[in-house]
Amino acid sequence: MIYSFKGGADGMAPFASLFALNGKLYGTTVLGGVYEHGSDGRLTLPTALLLLI
């Protein structure tokens, strides 16, 4: 597991496939977020994990 959503502002119910770009992993959710309409997020990946992608 890379990330566990807590609900609320960080979102819940991951929606689309994740994609990696320039050492970062991007994704979206359909629920949660500031206005409860979902959220998008970005995680910076450790170098060791980048070698596996």
- The model's pLDDT over 4-42, given as tens digits with 9 standing for 90+, comes to 777 778 788 888 888 888 888 888 888 888 888 888 888
What's the number of domains the chain is made of?
Answer: 1
CB atoms within 10 A of CB 40: 12
Q: Note whether residue 34 is domain-resident.
A: yes
| CA 5/CA 29 separation, integer angstroms | 10
Query: In the block, which residue shows the tokens 């991007």?
Result: 26
Using the predicted structure, report yes or no on whether residue 46 has a pLDDT greater than 60.
Answer: yes
pTM above 0.75, yes or no: no
Residue 12: domain span = 8-50
Residue 51 corresponds to which amino acid?
L
| CA 30/CA 51 separation, integer angstroms | 29
Q: Note whether residue 23 is domain-resident.
A: yes
Using the predicted structure, report yes or no on whether residue 47 has a pLDDT greater than 80.
Answer: no
